[in-house]
Amino acid sequence: MDWLDQVKWDAQGLLPVIAQEVGSNDVLMFAWMNREALQKTAETGRAVYFSRSRGRLWFKGEESGHVLLLKVIQQGHEPPIACHTGRHSCFFQVYRDGAWHAVEPVLKDPKTIYK
Protein backbone atom coordinates (compact mmCIF):
# COMPACT_ATOMS: atom_id res chain seq x y z
CA MET A 1 0.00 0.00 0.00
CA ASP A 2 1.22 3.45 -0.96
CA TRP A 3 2.18 5.74 1.96
CA LEU A 4 -0.28 8.29 0.54
CA ASP A 5 -3.09 5.72 0.83
CA GLN A 6 -2.37 5.37 4.54
CA VAL A 7 -3.34 8.98 5.16
CA LYS A 8 -6.91 9.37 6.40
CA TRP A 9 -8.20 11.93 3.88
CA ASP A 10 -11.47 13.57 4.80
CA ALA A 11 -14.66 13.44 2.71
CA GLN A 12 -13.31 16.24 0.51
CA GLY A 13 -10.00 14.44 0.05
CA LEU A 14 -8.23 16.93 2.32
CA LEU A 15 -5.95 16.79 5.34
CA PRO A 16 -5.39 19.53 7.98
CA VAL A 17 -1.73 20.56 8.14
CA ILE A 18 0.15 22.40 10.89
CA ALA A 19 3.50 24.04 10.16
CA GLN A 20 5.87 24.21 13.12
CA GLU A 21 9.24 25.95 13.03
CA VAL A 22 12.34 23.87 13.69
CA GLY A 23 14.29 25.28 16.63
CA SER A 24 11.77 27.68 18.16
CA ASN A 25 8.96 25.11 17.90
CA ASP A 26 6.63 28.02 17.12
CA VAL A 27 3.45 26.94 15.39
CA LEU A 28 3.49 29.10 12.28
CA MET A 29 0.37 28.34 10.33
CA PHE A 30 -2.43 26.00 9.46
CA ALA A 31 -3.59 24.97 6.01
CA TRP A 32 -4.86 22.03 3.95
CA MET A 33 -3.34 19.48 1.60
CA ASN A 34 -4.85 17.12 -0.90
CA ARG A 35 -3.08 14.02 -2.13
CA GLU A 36 -1.26 15.85 -4.90
CA ALA A 37 -0.10 18.59 -2.53
CA LEU A 38 1.34 16.08 -0.07
CA GLN A 39 3.07 14.19 -2.84
CA LYS A 40 4.63 17.39 -4.18
CA THR A 41 5.66 18.40 -0.66
CA ALA A 42 7.49 15.10 -0.20
CA GLU A 43 9.11 15.34 -3.62
CA THR A 44 10.25 18.94 -3.39
CA GLY A 45 10.89 19.36 0.34
CA ARG A 46 8.81 22.55 0.22
CA ALA A 47 5.34 23.01 1.60
CA VAL A 48 2.69 22.75 -1.11
CA TYR A 49 -0.88 23.27 0.09
CA PHE A 50 -4.33 23.05 -1.40
CA SER A 51 -6.39 26.23 -1.39
CA ARG A 52 -10.03 25.45 -0.66
CA SER A 53 -11.16 28.92 -1.74
CA ARG A 54 -9.30 28.79 -5.05
CA GLY A 55 -9.70 25.06 -5.65
CA ARG A 56 -6.05 24.54 -6.61
CA LEU A 57 -2.55 23.98 -5.26
CA TRP A 58 -0.64 26.91 -3.81
CA PHE A 59 2.96 27.31 -2.81
CA LYS A 60 2.58 29.26 0.43
CA GLY A 61 1.56 32.88 0.68
CA GLU A 62 -2.16 32.95 1.36
CA GLU A 63 -4.21 33.21 4.50
CA SER A 64 -5.90 30.02 5.63
CA GLY A 65 -8.66 31.47 7.77
CA HIS A 66 -8.82 31.56 11.53
CA VAL A 67 -7.37 28.84 13.68
CA LEU A 68 -7.13 28.70 17.44
CA LEU A 69 -3.90 27.75 19.16
CA LEU A 70 -4.35 26.63 22.77
CA LYS A 71 -1.29 26.70 25.01
CA VAL A 72 -1.99 23.85 27.41
CA ILE A 73 -0.58 22.10 30.46
CA GLN A 74 -1.52 18.43 30.56
CA GLN A 75 -2.82 17.08 33.83
CA GLY A 76 -3.85 13.69 35.21
CA HIS A 77 -1.07 11.38 34.15
CA GLU A 78 2.69 11.53 34.59
CA PRO A 79 4.26 11.62 32.02
CA PRO A 80 1.45 13.50 30.25
CA ILE A 81 -0.58 11.73 27.57
CA ALA A 82 -2.54 13.62 24.89
CA CYS A 83 -3.11 10.81 22.41
CA HIS A 84 -5.77 8.11 22.71
CA THR A 85 -3.06 5.62 21.69
CA GLY A 86 -1.33 6.30 25.03
CA ARG A 87 1.37 8.55 23.61
CA HIS A 88 2.53 12.01 24.69
CA SER A 89 1.36 13.63 21.48
CA CYS A 90 -0.96 12.71 18.61
CA PHE A 91 1.93 13.33 16.21
CA PHE A 92 3.82 10.08 16.67
CA GLN A 93 4.33 9.01 13.08
CA VAL A 94 7.14 10.28 10.90
CA TYR A 95 7.28 10.03 7.12
CA ARG A 96 10.66 8.78 5.98
CA ASP A 97 11.86 6.91 2.88
CA GLY A 98 8.40 6.36 1.48
CA ALA A 99 6.72 5.07 4.64
CA TRP A 100 5.25 6.11 8.01
CA HIS A 101 7.14 5.19 11.17
CA ALA A 102 5.83 5.37 14.75
CA VAL A 103 8.60 7.10 16.68
CA GLU A 104 7.02 7.95 20.04
CA PRO A 105 6.72 5.34 22.79
CA VAL A 106 3.37 4.22 24.18
CA LEU A 107 3.42 5.51 27.78
CA LYS A 108 0.23 3.83 28.89
CA ASP A 109 -1.86 0.96 27.56
CA PRO A 110 -4.88 2.56 25.81
CA LYS A 111 -7.10 -0.19 27.24
CA THR A 112 -6.43 1.15 30.73
CA ILE A 113 -7.19 4.75 29.65
CA TYR A 114 -10.71 4.11 28.36
CA LYS A 115 -12.76 1.74 30.45
**Contact letters for a copy of itself, residues 43-72 (x by CB under 8 A):** ----x-------------xxxxxxxxxxxx
Applying CB under 8 A, does 83 fall inside the site for a copy of itself?
Answer: yes
Distances (CA, A) of 58 to 12, 34, 54, 115: 17, 11, 9, 44
Query: In the range 4-43, which residues lie near a copy of itself by CB under 8 A?
Result: 7-10, 15-30, 33, 38, 41
CA atoms of 103 and 91, how far apart (whole Å): 9
The minimum distance between CB 72 and a copy of itself, in angstroms, equals 5
